Amino acid sequence: FTGSAFGSAAIWQYESLKSRVQTYFEEARADWLDKIRPQKRGDFRKQVNSWWNNLTEGQRTVTGIIAANVFVFCLWRLPGMRRIMFTYFTSDPSSRALCSPMLLSTFSHFSLFHMAANMYVLWSFSSSVVSLLGCEQFIAVYLSAGNIKYIYIY
């Protein structure tokens, strides 16, 4: 799993770099269009865009991870989802699903304090680690760390 995560991250990193280079040249050609286009309206949208643009690349990467963790945490609170959550989002040797929990348990927190502490720590060091590794490799490390946690429980 870890090898696949890092292999996929390397391909993703290459494709992102290629896309950035292509976008740079396309924007240079289309720069004159920005001068004649009308500006989009909406104060809330401008505030969100301003907030998003002020984040570092690491914080933007972690924002998606935090959103996924909060979404899974909310799913734990729905009584109808408990069976699915225990089957696919926890490490259980007696479970029918053995592979998918390796990935999905990485986003699963049952306790609010546990999730809040983990997300705070993740947010605090994300900028430096993503600037060192890149967002693709950082996500591979995050998923691999969850995989190690899963294997350690067994």
Summarised one tens digit per residue, pLDDT across range 51-73 is 888 888 888 999 999 999 999 99
Q: What is the pLDDT of residue 135?
A: 87
Give the total number of structural domains in the chain.
1
Q: Of 116, 117, 93, 118, nearest to 106 (Cα)?
A: 118
Angstrom CA distances, 9 to 36, 57, 107, stand at 39, 16, 18
Range of the domain at 83: 55-87+131-153
Question: Considering the domain boundaries, does residue 27 fall inside one?
Answer: no
**Ranges in the chain, pLDDT < 50:** 150-154
Q: What burial letters (b/e) apply to 79-92, b meaning 16+ CB within 10 Å?
A: eeeeeebeebbbbb
- Predicted TM-score (pTM) of this structure: 0.71
Tell me the Ramachandran region of residue 42: left when phi exceeds 0, alpha when psi lies from -120 to 50, beta otherwise.
Answer: left
Q: What is the pLDDT of residue 41?
A: 64
Question: Considering the domain boundaries, does residue 118 fall inside one?
Answer: no
Question: Considering the domain boundaries, does residue 83 fall inside one?
Answer: yes
Question: Considering the domain boundaries, does residue 29 fall inside one?
Answer: no
Residues ≥6 apart with Cβ < 8 Å to 65: 107, 122, 139, 142
Question: Considering the domain boundaries, does residue 77 fall inside one?
Answer: yes
User: CA 19, CA 32: separation in Å to the nearest integer?
Assistant: 21
Question: Considering the domain boundaries, does residue 36 fall inside one?
Answer: no
Question: Considering the domain boundaries, does residue 28 fall inside one?
Answer: no
Q: What is the pLDDT of residue 96?
A: 72
Question: Considering the domain boundaries, does residue 111 fall inside one?
Answer: no
Q: What is the pLDDT of residue 89?
A: 83
